Amino acid sequence: MTGPRHRSDLDALLHRVARRDADALAVLYDHTRARVYGLVRHVLRDSGYSEETTQEVYLEVWRTADAYDPTKGSALSWLMTMAHRRAIDRVRAEQAATQRESRYGASAVEPPSDVVAESAIAADERRRVAECLGGLTDVQRQCIEMAYYGGLTYAEVSQRLSANLSTIKSRMRDALRGLRNCLGVP
Amino acid sequence: MTEPTDFELLELATPYALHAVSDAERAAIDRQLAAAPPSVVEAFREEVRAVRETMTAVSVATAAEPPTRLRAAVLAAVQPDDGRRSRWRTALLAAAAAIVVGLAAFGAGMTLRPSATPTMAEQIMAAPDVRTVSGQLAGGTATVVYSRDKNAGVLVMNNVPPPSQGTVYQMWLIGDKGPVSAGTMNTAAVAPSTTDTLTNLGTSSALAFTVEPGNGSPQPTGKILAKLSLI
């Protein structure tokens, strides 16, 4: 129920949320919760933190829905960007607080098949994403895993891999272009 | 056409869109964008948009169902005016409004509009530093949504059983000087979904819950049932 083809539905829901329509937030939550919670949990690796952060994401939606501008991107992208930002902020805060070793090593993209049991997201859509992720080179995928899911900055990725900064930036850019083309993202 | 610095700026669009820059770098990039030519800004924004749409498409790979209790917690937090405690609070607000209306009538021409004043819960939700913390409490869930800036929080309890007759749940803000009572809830006050407002968080680092006899105690005597860290 959450694919780009439903873009206008989510736009309409966000407009209602901006007018303090709690029922619209409930519907929005039901349409997007698996994506939001799943991404947050994949970054945080802790179900308690992930529940808290997911709650914060929807509170932020409630608070800032009127700032969503459909000309700058899809509603789902606006929401997922917010979810990712909060998850990354939390993982960095936790790491700074505990001086814990980064958990990027555990953040490899899992085979999607067993992640979603009963979700509205179609199986063929997941298969396609898995194929596109599989189409990246190992070093490209590693960059995405360490940065996007592990919370490292590109500079930290470059230190860990003993690669220079421009190499890492190129790998990230090439990884994203590959995924974008493979997925047919406009 | 494009200066080397503009090229370097565009190279950072992907890490920026992936949140793979430090806070300091992000601020520096934002400053550079503010001073960059429109064509560079447009190219940067388009790259950010495309990266974010792409990772949104990729998010089907990480999708996972949250626990069902999260739905109630999310919705309770945006509907603080739900449940018995809020009826009591609504009555208080109505009383306060009546006083304000009285004052307005007394002072000619005053245009006080109490209905336009955001509730403390709304102010907390609207605070930029709003945070949420949850924990198990007597088989239910206690969630605190709070803001250090506002020095206040909203407590939401879902499916917490009422305390036994003759006792109350007592909330304690734990700070440098030990626990300070943050109020009590008796059997009648605890509904399947209960909200309460916490004021004067101060420098407290946690909210703890105990069961206390009668109408509560000056210091906790019961064992701590739950403790939520206020980061």
Residue B111: pLDDT above 50? no
Query: Which of B12, B47, B48, B58 is most worth mutating to test chain A (most A CB atoms within 10 A of its CB)?
Result: B58
Q: What is the mean pLDDT of chain B?
A: 78
Domain residue spans of chain A: 1-101, 111-186
Number of residues assigned to chain A: 186
Question: Is the same domain home to B94 and B162?
Answer: yes
Question: Is the same domain home to B45 and B91?
Answer: no
pLDDT (0 to 100) of residue B175:
86
Query: Which of A176, A179, A180, A181 is most worth mutating to test chain B (most B CB atoms within 10 A of its CB)?
Result: A176
pLDDT (0 to 100) of residue B117:
55
Residue A112: pLDDT above 70? no
pTM: 0.63
Question: Is the same domain home to B196 and B133?
Answer: yes
pLDDT (0 to 100) of residue B50:
97
**pLDDT for B122-177, tens place per residue?**
677 677 787 878 888 887 778 888 888 888 887 877 778 888 888 888 888 888 88
Q: Which CATH architecture has domain A1-101?
A: Orthogonal Bundle (1.10)
Name chain B contacts of A94, Cβ cutoff 8 Å: none
A-B Cβ pairs (cutoff 8 Å, strict):
195
Question: Is the same domain home to B54 and B87?
Answer: no
Identify which has the larger pLDDT, B21 or B160.
B21
Print the SS3 string covering chain B. CCCHHHHHHHHCHHHHHCCCCCHHHHHHHHHHHHHCCHHHHHHHHHHHHHHHHHHHHHHHHCCCCCCCHHHHHHHHHHCCCCCHHHHHHHHHHHHHHHHHHHHHHHCCCCCCCHHHCCCHHHHHHHCCCCEEEEEEECCEEEEEEEECCCCEEEEEEECCCCCCCCEEEEEEEEECCEEEEEEEECHHHCCCEEEEEEECCCCCCEEEEEEEECCCCCCCCCCCCEEEECC
Q: Do B52 and A179 touch (CB under 8 A)?
A: no
pLDDT (0 to 100) of residue A35:
95
CA gap B155, B167 in Å, rounded = 20
Residue A169's closest CA among B42, B51, B56, B33?
B51
Task: Note whether residue B222 is domain-resident.
Answer: yes
If you measure CA to CA, which chain A residue comes closest to B128?
A: A60
Q: Do B19 and A180 touch (CB under 8 A)?
A: no
Three-class SS of residue A19?
coil
Residue B224: pLDDT above 70? yes
Burial (CB < 10 A; 0-12, 13-18, 19+), residue B4, is exposed
Name chain A contacts of B73, Cβ cutoff 8 Å: 51, 55
Task: Note whether residue B122 is domain-resident.
Answer: yes
Nearest C-alpha of chain B: how many angstroms from A171? 10
- Complex ipTM tops 0.90: no
Q: Do A81 and B63 touch (CB under 8 A)?
A: no
Alpha carbon distances (Å) from B33 to A4, A73, B29, B39:
29, 19, 6, 11
Beta-carbon count within 10 A of B115 CB: 8
pLDDT (0 to 100) of residue A164:
95
Question: Is the same domain home to B54 and B96?
Answer: no
Alpha carbon distances (Å) from B103 to B82, B107, B113, B118, B152:
29, 6, 11, 19, 27
Range scoring the smallest mean pLDDT among A43-57, A141-155, B47-61, B139-153: B139-153
Beta-carbon count within 10 A of B105 CB: 9
Task: Note whether residue B134 is domain-resident.
Answer: yes
* Residues of the domain holding B48: 4-61
Question: Is the same domain home to B128 and B156?
Answer: yes
| A33 and A54 Cβ atoms separated by less than 8 Å | yes
Nearest to A62 among B71, B78, B131 (CB): B78
Q: Do B130 and A74 touch (CB under 8 A)?
A: no
Chain-centroid distance, C-alpha B209:
19
Q: Do A185 and B54 touch (CB under 8 A)?
A: yes
| Bridge partners (DSSP) listed for residue B153 | B146, B198
Question: Is the same domain home to B123 and B102?
Answer: yes
Count of domains forming chain B: 2
pLDDT (0 to 100) of residue A161:
94
Residue B203: pLDDT above 80? yes
Q: What's the fold here for domain A111-186?
A: Arc Repressor Mutant, subunit A (1.10.10)
| Bridge partners (DSSP) listed for residue B158 | B141, B193
Three-class SS of residue A162?
coil
pLDDT (0 to 100) of residue B4:
56
Task: Note whether residue B66 is domain-resident.
Answer: no
Question: Is the same domain home to B169 and B220?
Answer: yes
Task: Note whether residue B67 is domain-resident.
Answer: no
Question: Is the same domain home to B192 and B165?
Answer: yes
Question: Is the same domain home to B93 and B9?
Answer: no
**pLDDT for A35-59, tens place per residue?**
999 999 999 998 899 999 999 999 9
Residue B196: pLDDT above 70? yes
Question: Is the same domain home to B80 and B180?
Answer: yes
Three-class SS of residue A117?
coil
Name chain A contacts of B51, Cβ cutoff 8 Å: 176, 180
| B176 and B149 Cβ atoms separated by less than 8 Å | no
